Amino acid sequence: MAEVIQFNCPSCGTMLRLPLGMAACQGPCPNCDREIVAPDPARGIAAHEAVAEMTVPAAAETPACAKSRRALPLFSCLLTGVLGFALGFISNQRFAEAPPVMAPAKIEEPVVLAEPPAPTPEPVKPVIEKTPEPPAKASAAAEISLRAFLDAPDWAARSAHVLFPEKVRGAMEAHSREVPDGPTAFKSISVKHSYIDEQTGSTLLIFYVTTEKFPAGIPVAIKETPGGWLVDWQSFVEFRDQLFQKFVDGPADQTGRFHLVATTPPPERATKTENEHFLSFLLQSPLDAKPQLAFVRKSSEIFTTFQSATKDGGIFTPVLEVAKRQTADGKSYLEVVKLSATDWLPREN
């Protein structure tokens, strides 16, 4: 695989990926259309906005830069998907750009500790081993179950093909009253990734289901069990129905649990969205176009885990409980209140 440069747009913060050969190239950001210059790791040059009314002389351009100008806009490779399974928002609402300056009451109270608290350990990596390609027989059997799941006429029939049915049947019925129930119309199904659980020996396959609304595909996890191949309904409906985006658009004083991609904002933006009690991160669902600014309390264990997982531009793919709150002047903001899991593998709880 060719080496790539991954960086945030210095203007709007959108995450971008380019081939290494396009280091220091100039072009418009696909999200904000501002002219920016890609970073050059070899020369220690960071990404920055292009100087107004200046262009790179043709003789100074690298072959990769010149070729990109003749073909596509330079930064057409916006990162909107995820790597494997573990791997936007514009509305009329007023969202806070900075966290609330008033600390919670429990933070303001003096706390006396006998000794400093122990640091939070590094996020635990999933006990799985990725295989290059899923076995053809397993893939065919899993696809049959997935098609039955997608073609099911209602939630009750669909529940025969889901993981942890006794745990999720109530949620499936409740969801059917909010979202039109029935089959999921799809155009194609293809398996993308395969994992082996070292503890159980069972196989987990990740399919991508393309639909008219999502031509790039909805990631769907389906796991081998003693009762056959079963689908992770919880993550499927979250992605298909864009529940994180609906949560962001919804009223304040709500809490939700989501599978998200977490990254750090550009340094110049982070300095504007930080105070003594909070630090900001960018959260994004794999099918949403734009990341959302969210805050983590510096006094929480979550903060240590986030810092470690996103260090040096790392991509963190946790399951998070997020609260939508409101400041005294009526602006909304998102706060991460719980780290439910450090990966997206299906879990009973």
Per-residue pLDDT of 37-67, as tens digits, reads 888 887 778 788 876 443 334 434 455 554 4
Closest C-alpha among 300, 73, 347 to residue 197:
347
CATH number for the segment(s) 128-240: 3.10.450
Least confident of 18-22, 150-154, 232-236, 256-260: 18-22
Q: Cα(145)–Cα(158) distance, rounded to whole angstroms?
A: 10
Residues 6+ apart with CB under 8 A from 114: none
- Is 4-70 a domain of CATH 2.20.28? yes
pLDDT in tens, 147-184: 999 999 999 999 999 999 999 999 999 999 999 899 99
Architecture of the domain delimited by 105-123+251-341: Beta Barrel (2.40)
Going by DSSP bridges, is the β-strand pair 203-210/218-225 parallel, antiparallel, or unpaired? antiparallel
- Domain-wise residue ranges, the chain: 4-70, 105-123+251-341, 128-240
Q: Position 260: which residue type?
A: L
Mean pLDDT, to the nearest integer, of 228-240?
95
